[in-house]
């Protein structure tokens, strides 16, 4: 059994090699993204599985090429699968697994870190005090206590985020087609999407990206939000219409934006581009705002999550390879 990894980083090989001691598969790590540019470089009939991440592009032609190379299993080492053409996977009779929940708390806690940093400007204070500048001008935030926090999507991550916000003494309102009774009993109030965005002081996105909710946050929706609303997105970049958000930041309608995901992130994130000219005016404009905070898809990045990703992925690949039953939530096709 040989697995070829794409978009591999040193921390991937560290956690996968360690967990592979229980399986003894052959693992090969490639740094490049999987996409049309590289799929022909895969040697035929050498690998049984590919293991991919959020920004690998599994389009129909890429999947057809994988099948022609003898690949039988595609293992996503992430939860979201918006980057995979599921129908093509089925058509080529490949199997597809993911890691549905490796650490909801990791992502929820990062969303909180973004919110607290953006609001209380600790990133600016850190830089100032290192320069012996102890002035408070420009560092004022607001209390989260008693503020209304709107949570879009109350699955595993959204639920963890709601519970932390309740602990802060916030009023938590939510929108999700499926209401979570546990959260309701804790005091979370479900509203329609429009009602939520009208009432919320802070809106945090925790739903998957689908064709239906692409650009969920756009100019017409921003228009009905509270002036000064703070937006947090740790889900997927295309949930937000970036140009509309930039306009709303310029008009001061949006009071703060913190994003861990970005629509064009595959060209940027997980790379050190500090010596490069970045040919993406939207990200450059976003970074230029003093009330915008960008992290490079690191919400999942904790020891616990990386360990769980490796454990779950190898277990699913093994089950699929040996045609054993496994959880439906893990096996997509």
Shortest distance, CB of residue 273 to ligand NAI, whole angstroms? 19
Whose Cβ is closer to ligand NAI: residue 48's or residue 56's? 56
**H-helix or E-strand containing 54?**
none
Q: Which tokens hold the place of 142?
A: 């607001």
Asked about 265 being catalytic, the answer comes back as yes
Provide the minimum distance between the beta carbon of 310 and ligand NAI in the complex, in angstroms, as a whole number: 15
Q: d(Cα 316, Cα 322) in Å, to the nearest integer? A: 10
Cβ proximity to ligand NAI: between 117 and 235 the closer is 235
Distance of CA 137 to the CA centre of its chain: 33
Cβ nearer to ligand NAI, comparing 5 with 47 = 5
Query: Beta 229-233 vs 202-205: how paired, if at all?
Result: parallel
In angstroms, what is the minimal distance from the CB of 12 to ligand NAI? Answer: 14
Q: Which is nearer to ligand NAI, 39 or 172 (CB)?
A: 172
Distance CA 219, CA 224 (A): 9
Nearest CB to ligand NAI, comparing residues 260 and 308: 260
Question: Is 206 among the catalytic positions?
Answer: no
Backbone phi and psi for residue 58, each to the nearest 5 degrees, phi listed first? -100, 70
Looking at beta carbons, which residue is closest to ligand NAI?
155
Beta-carbon contacts of residue 250 (< 8 Å; ≥ 6 apart):
none
Shortest CB 183 distance to ligand NAI, Å:
10
Contacts of 246 (CB under 8 A, 6+ apart): 282, 285, 286
Strands of the chain (E only): list them. Answer: 2-5, 26-29, 49-52, 73-76, 95-97, 148-152, 171-175, 189-190, 202-205, 229-233, 254-259, 292-294
Q: Which one from 98, 110, 206, 297 is the annotated catalytic residue?
A: 297
Active site residue 110: no
Residues that bind ligand NAI (CB under 6 A): 79-80, 101, 104, 107, 152-158, 175-178, 206-209, 213, 234-236, 260-261, 297, 299-300
**CB under 8 Å to 227, separation ≥6 — which residues?**
252, 253, 255
Tokens of 191: 């509203």
Q: Are 317 and 55 in contact (CB under 8 A)?
A: no
- Among 206, 241, 265, 308, which one carries the catalytic annotation? 265
Nearer to ligand NAI, 95 or 156 (CB): 156
| β-bridge mates for residue 256, sequence order | 230
Query: Please, what is the minimum distance in Å from the beta carbon of residue 258 to ligand NAI?
Result: 12
Identify any residues that bridge with 203 across adjacent strands, giving them in sequence order.
Answer: 150, 231
Residue 236: CB minimum distance to ligand NAI, A: 4
Annotated catalytic residues are: 236, 265, 297
């Amino acid at each position: 059994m040989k697995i070829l990894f794409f978009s591999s980083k040193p921390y991937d090989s560290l956690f996968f090699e360690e967990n592979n001691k229980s399986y003894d598969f052959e693992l090969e790590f490639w740094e490049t993204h999987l996409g049309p540019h590289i799929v022909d470089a895969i040697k035929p009939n050498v690998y049984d599985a590919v293991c991919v991440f959020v920004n690998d592009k599994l389009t129909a032609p890429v999947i057809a090429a994988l099948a022609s190379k003898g690949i039988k299993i595609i293992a996503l080492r992430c939860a979201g699968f918006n980057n995979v053409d599921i129908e093509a996977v089925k058509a080529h009779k490949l199997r597809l697994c993911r890691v549905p929940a490796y650490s909801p708390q990791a992502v929820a806690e990062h969303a909180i870190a973004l919110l607290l940093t953006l609001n209380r400007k600790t990133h600016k204070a850190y830089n100032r005090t290192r320069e012996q500048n102890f002035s408070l001008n420009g560092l004022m935030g607001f209390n989260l206590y008693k503020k209304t926090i709107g949570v879009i999507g109350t699955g595993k991550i959204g639920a963890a985020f709601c519970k932390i916000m309740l602990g802060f003494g916030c009023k938590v309102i939510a929108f999700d087609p499926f209401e979570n009774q546990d959260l309701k009993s804790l005091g979370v109030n479900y509203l329609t999407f429009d009602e939520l965005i009208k009432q919320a002081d802070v809106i945090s996105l925790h739903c998957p990206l689908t064709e239906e909710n692409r650009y969920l946050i756009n100019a017409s929706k921003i228009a009905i939000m509270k002036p000064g609303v703070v937006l947090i997105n740790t889900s997927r970049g295309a949930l937000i219409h970036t140009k509309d958000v930039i306009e709303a930041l310029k008009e001061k309608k949006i009071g703060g934006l913190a994003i861990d995901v970005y629509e064009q992130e595959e060209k940027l994130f997980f790379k050190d581009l500090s010596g490069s000219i970045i040919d993406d005016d939207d990200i450059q404009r976003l970074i230029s705002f003093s009330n915008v905070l960008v992290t490079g898809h690191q919400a999942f990045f904790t020891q616990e999550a990386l360990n769980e990703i490796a454990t779950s992925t190898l277990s699913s690949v093994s089950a699929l390879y040996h045609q054993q039953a496994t959880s439906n939530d893990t096996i997509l096709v």
